[in-house]
């Protein structure tokens, strides 16, 4: 098992070997984001701009204008808080080919505390027109995502996790197409749509539910935007009950994206597993996930609630 950031850094180096248009920028956290691996391999194509996230993002716009493929790196909360103006006004507005990579998503920078935990980044990035938003589930998906975002021409936000996230995929079994959710397990009774670390948790919840005679369909919705509407509608039509699970605020993230699709096309009862409009705090990562209702039991309970709502309709 490898930390997602490690996989990211290694894959960025691989990319650098085959594509010399790729440049990487960081804002004094390259040891943390692992963009330092790229810096070591390609010192001429790596730019550490110091503690200046806005400068970094705007510089990337300049690189993109000159046909480079810049990957910008810092913590997810800083990307969304300090670099958003250039991401909005230069990168998204002009559809520039910049890859915006937010490290330490969700609670994964657990001990640094609420000041450093990114729960709002998904909503902020998702609300920017032209910007795609991707949240891979594990190290394999992260690698595949790096390749996919490089291949695609245009701005993308790629949100990563700091921790060693238990794998959902394997080397030779990770299909990754931007905008296409992966059905990891078919089921008829309830749909669980998750991304990031919560995909693993959703699979665990599925096991528990199976023992209770409930077969849950589990979807890895790694692309939050554009959301795979067709898959969402199809699965909701089959199960009639949907739970979303994400390591981000329930305001504006994956749950919202799914609800936007279903409210218009196929209204069914829904439950949202996510951060309930509060900031995080310091502590052990797993303890925090439990405290904030992002553990496997929370998903199981949400499934029970949504099934009950469907039955009473």
Partner 1 sequence: MGLTTEKVNELEAITKKMRMNIIETLYKVQTGHPGGSLSAVEIMTTLYFSHMRVDCAAPGCPDRDRFIASKGHCAPVVYTTLACKGYFPEEELGNLRQLGCILQGHPDMKRIPGIDLSTGSLGLGLSAGIGLALSARLDNKDYYTYVLIGDGELQEGQNWEAFMAGAKYKLNNLIAIIDYNGVQLDGTTEDIMPLGDLRKKFEAFDWHVVECDGHDLVALDKVFIAAKQEKGMPTVIIAKTVKGKGVSFMEGKNTWHGKAIGKQEYETAIAELGGSI
Ligand X SMILES: Cc1ncc(C[n+]2csc(CCOP(=O)(O)OP(=O)(O)O)c2C)c(N)n1
Residues in contact with partner 1 by CB under 8 A are: 26, 28-32, 36, 48-52, 54-55, 77-78, 81-82, 111-116, 281-284, 287-288, 291
Give dist(CA 255, CA 259) in Å, integer. Answer: 6
**DSSP type of residue 92:** I
Of 147 and 291, CB closest to partner 1: 291
Per-residue contact flags (x/-) with ligand X for residues 212 to 251, judged by CB under 6 A: ----------------------------------------
| Residue 257 contact, options partner 1, ligand X, none, Cβ 5-8 Å cut-off depending on partner type | none
Q: How far is the CB of 29 from ligand X (least distance, A)?
A: 5
Give the DSSP H or E segment for 39.
Answer: helix 35-41
Q: How far is the CB of 254 from partner 1 (least distance, A)?
A: 25
Stretch 69-128 residues interacting with ligand X (CB under 6 A): 78, 82
Give the position of tokens 């409930």. Answer: 214
**CA distances for 272 relative to 98, 157, 249, angstroms:** 31, 22, 10
- 138 prior amide bond cis, ω within 30: no
Of 75 and 285, CB closest to ligand X: 75
Of 167 and 283, CB closest to partner 1: 283
Which residues, including other chains, have CB under 8 Å from residue 213's CB and lie 6 or more apart?
Answer: none
Of 78 and 160, CB closest to ligand X: 78
* Phi, psi for residue 15 in degrees, rounded to 5: -60, -40
Give dist(CA 207, CA 216) in Å, integer. Answer: 9
Stretch 22-51 residues interacting with ligand X (CB under 6 A): 28-29, 51
Annotated active-site positions, please?
53
Q: How far is the CB of 249 from partner 1 (least distance, A)?
A: 17
Tell me the three state secondary structure of residue 233: helix
Distance of CA 21 to the CA centre of its chain: 25
Q: How far is the CB of 301 from partner 1 (least distance, A)?
A: 21
Give dist(CA 124, CA 135) in Å, integer. Answer: 14
Q: Which residues bind ligand X (CB under 6 A)?
A: 28-29, 51, 78, 82
């Amino acid at each position: 098992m490898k930390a997602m950031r490690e996989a990211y850094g290694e894959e960025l180096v691989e990319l650098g070997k085959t594509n010399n248009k790729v440049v990487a920028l960081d804002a004094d956290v390259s040891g943390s984001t692992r963009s330092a691996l790229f810096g070591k391999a390609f010192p001429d194509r790596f730019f550490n701009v110091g503690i200046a996230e806005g400068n970094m993002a705007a510089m990337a716009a300049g690189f993109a204008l000159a046909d480079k493929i810049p990957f910008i790196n810092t913590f997810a909360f800083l990307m969304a808080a300090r670099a958003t103006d250039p991401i909005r006004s230069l990168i998204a507005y002009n559809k520039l080919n910049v890859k915006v990579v937010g490290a330490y998503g969700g609670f994964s920078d657990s001990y640094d505390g609420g000041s450093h935990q990114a729960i709002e980044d998904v909503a902020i990035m998702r609300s920017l027109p032209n910007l795609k938003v991707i949240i891979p589930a594990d190290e394999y998906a992260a690698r595949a995502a790096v390749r996919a975002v490089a291949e695609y021409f245009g701005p993308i936000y790629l949100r990563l996790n700091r921790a060693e996230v238990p794998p959902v995929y394997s080397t030779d079994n990770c299909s990754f197409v931007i905008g296409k959710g992966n059905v990891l397990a078919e089921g008829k009774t309830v749909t669980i749509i998750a991304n990031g670390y919560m995909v693993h948790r959703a699979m665990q919840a599925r096991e528990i539910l199976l023992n209770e005679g409930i077969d849950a369909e589990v979807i890895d919705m790694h692309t939050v935007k554009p959301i795979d509407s067709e898959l969402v509608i199809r699965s909701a039509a089959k199960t009639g009950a949907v739970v979303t699970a994400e390591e981000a605020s329930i305001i504006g993230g994956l749950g919202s994206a799914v609800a936007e699709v279903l409210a218009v096309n196929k209204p069914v009862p829904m439950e949202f597993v996510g951060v309930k409009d509060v900031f995080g705090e310091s502590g052990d990562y797993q303890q925090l996930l439990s405290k904030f209702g992002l553990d496997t039991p929370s998903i199981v309970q949400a499934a029970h609630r949504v099934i009950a709502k469907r039955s009473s309709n």
